[in-house]
Chain A
Amino acid sequence: MLKVKNLYHSYTKDDNYAVKGISFEIKKGEIFGFLGPNGAGKSTTQKILTGLLPLQKGEASIAGIDVKKPTEKLFNLIGVSFEHPNIYSKLTGYENLEFYKKLFSVPTEDPKVLLKMVGLEDAVNKKAGDYSKGMKQRLVFARSLINNPQLWFLDEPISGLDPTTASNIKDIIKKKKDEGTTIFLTTHNMHIADELCDRVAFINEGKIEVIDSPRNLKLKYGEQLVKVEYKENNKLKRERLSLINDKDRDKLNKLVNEGKIETIHSQEATLEEIFIKVTGRGLK
């Protein structure tokens, strides 16, 4: 669905690259997570792919259409949800979607249905400029679905939303994936990436460090740990034991055999920990 090869971008048009030779592919129907700290080059990459920045160097194509020469067809099959809500503040929520709908020449969704889906049914006729930040964000999210995009770009779709709304938005993303939509998800929230993404790319300082499924990354980089609580000499003790380290494994076996264990939890490495391990830096 999306192919990117050796993509470079410099805002200053010199050797100072914000994106340095990125390559990846997204298969149809996949949710691809684009993870990295602030300033890593995530938005830059997304902007090139959506035609907001010129493609300076490298290759990129969406559904076989060269991003360098974007056609109307290309824009008809993508949907873009922006990190910073950008809506016509003088128009109502409904008018915003109604207007945007008419820009497309493919079958489109009913604005009212979309607004209801993101929980804005009570604000349909309210000026979007008077929406709260979270409402604006949901309006932009809904707008990006108006043309039933085949490739859906999401930039931080749930940051700043309350838990209920966030979970509603996550459900919509999952539902769209089940319907076959390919999703490019940009975020620095590892939990969301872990929960939603089929594969993730770790991007740092303009380069992709690793691409794999969250599960594989955990298997590959994450030490599998168990957290045990056990009694020894009538005292409660807590310990984290690795399942890979031989010494720890022996100790765990011993504790199990002696029947001293009171509680035991497996503890997987988080994507965040793996990210730090791979890139040598944190996400924040």
Chain B
Amino acid sequence: MLNRYFALLKKDIITGVRNYYFVVVIAVAIIFALIVNFLVPEDTSIKPAIFYHVEYQGDMRENIDEIIMESEREHPNVNRVNSREEIIENMKKKDNSIGMFVTESNGKPVIEFITQGYENKKVINTLVLSMKNSINESLGRKIDVKTNILNKDVEMERIPFNKSILPIFLLTEPTMLGFVLILALVFMEKDEGTIRAYMVSPGRIQEYLASKITLMIILGLISTIVCTGIVVGFNANYLALFGLVIVGSIFSSALGLIIASFFDNLSQSFIWVAAINILFALPMVSYLLPSFAPTYIKILPTYPLLFAIREAVFPTGNVEIIYSTILTFIVLSIMTFIVSVFSYKITAARD
């Protein structure tokens, strides 16, 4: 049984090499990494939201209100709340936000900036600096400014925008790659009729499918290593990342196998392939727009997978999401694999 699996794997790898799968996968990973590193700007104009509360009631109150009103005009996302606690509460709900709290000390206003601790420092510094400057200017004298960091234990900087799209690549390429590539591979063998030759040998469907899935895992890992290596170097949690890519590949390629079992070529199966691809790509929307995460997206398996991949690439200490995602996908993979075996048992005999 293991002999047959390795014979199949060798055959599939040779076929993959001669179909240029390896070359293409590596090239795509390199191109993506280069685009991320050199073509996508590090920061986008997405500014953090600001929550503020002014406790100070002294003679400079008017000037302060004016400054805030001015920045409200320039900056669409400035919100007044009713206490310092409320600032923090709101900030906890909203990833990309900072807080400003104006209080009084010895009759003088003291401004406290509250930050999350993982913002892009450049953004925060420019923001704080510009506010400080305008306050100082308008008041004509120096006031105290404190900066308070909410998540002190988080050492990391906020992920630069360009690198933050790496998890999306890792989801669509190495992980979901198997879904389409395995279809192409199976359709080629259906066209050759070699599946029938295999069916009259002692080789079993499980081995046949497992070998194809293994090829997808190998390609997925190569793509992951190349791309992640170029973009973030040694900073990622590679062990977790490999785990996620492996279980994700098994799931997606087993799913591809199920689809492939019912059709003879890509054009017949196109609607299904496109529909499933779009469905599984939806969580990317939530990834890029964190405020948009409706239930129908959250229940897609690629939703936790995408965030787990992010955690693996940019570790924040939330290993739980990695473990639970890997576990979920192990269960999903076993299920889809079993279904794929059955769908082949039913359809492969078909002429």
Contacts and interface: CB of A to CB of B under 8 A. Distances in A.
A104 interface: yes
B332 to A, nearest CB: 30
A170 B44 CA distance: 75
A86 B196 CA distance: 8
A88 B192 contact: yes
Contact of B192 (A50, A52, A80, A86): A86
B143 interface: no
A100 interface: yes
A56 to B, nearest CB: 11
A86 B191 CA distance: 9
A105 interface: yes
A88 B8 CA distance: 12
A43 to B, nearest CB: 9
A76 B202 contact: yes
A219 interface: no
A100 B201 contact: yes
A75 interface: yes
Given A91-B14, A99-B10, A75 B201 contact: yes
Contact of A103 (B10, B14, B202): B202
B199 interface: yes
A72 interface: yes
Given A50-B200, A82-B196, A87-B192, A102 B15 contact: no
A100 B192 contact: no
A95 B7 contact: no
Interface string A36-52: 00000000000100111
Given A82-B193, A82-B196, A102-B7, A90 B15 contact: yes
Interface string B1-30: 001101110110011001100000000000
Contact of A91 (B6, B11, B196, B349): B11
Instruction: Specify the main secondary structure of chain B where it touches its partner.
Output: helix
B194 A52 contact: no
Nearest to A128: B192
B107 interface: no
A95 B200 contact: no
A188 interface: no
A47 B11 CA distance: 25
Nearest to A85: B193
Contact of B194 (A88, A95, A102, A105): A88
Interface string B184-195: 000001001110
A78 interface: yes
A127 B351 CA distance: 26
Contacts of B290: none
Contacts of B351: 47, 52-53
B3 A102 contact: yes
Contact of B11 (A54, A75, A88, A105): A88
Contact of A95 (B11, B198, B199): B11
A84 interface: yes
A176 interface: no
Contacts of A90: 14-15, 18-19
A78 B15 contact: no
A72 B7 contact: no
Contact of B196 (A52, A72, A78, A103): A52
Given A47-B351, A103-B7, A75 B200 contact: yes
Contacts of B200: 50-52, 75, 78, 80
A151 B242 CA distance: 47
Interface in A51-105: 51-54, 72, 75-76, 78, 80, 82, 84-91, 95, 99-100, 102-105
Contacts of B192: 86-89
Interface in B15-63: 15, 18-19
Contacts of A53: 349, 351
B91 to A, nearest CB: 57
A221 B28 CA distance: 71
B22 to A, nearest CB: 13
A199 interface: no
A99 B4 CA distance: 9
B198, B199, B202: residue with the most chain A Cβ atoms closer than 10 Å: B202
Contacts of A87: 192, 194, 197
A71 to B, nearest CB: 9
A91 B12 CA distance: 10
A105 to B, nearest CB: 6
Interface in B63-80: none
Contacts of B193: 82, 84-86
Interface string B108-151: 00000000000000000000000000000000000000000000
Given A54-B349, A91-B11, A103-B198, 8 more contacts: A51-B349, A72-B202, A78-B200, A90-B15, A95-B14, A102-B3, A102-B4, A140-B197
Interface of B: 3-4, 6-8, 10-11, 14-15, 18-19, 189, 192-194, 196-204, 349, 351
Interface of A: 47, 50-54, 72, 75-76, 78, 80, 82, 84-91, 95, 99-100, 102-105, 127, 140, 143
15 contacts: A47-B351, A51-B200, A86-B193, A86-B194, A88-B15, A90-B18, A95-B11, A99-B7, A100-B197, A100-B201, A102-B3, A103-B201, A104-B202, A127-B18, A143-B197
10 closest cross-chain pairs (CB), A and B:
A86-B193, A102-B7, A75-B202, A103-B201, A103-B203, A80-B200, A90-B18, A72-B202, A90-B15, A99-B11
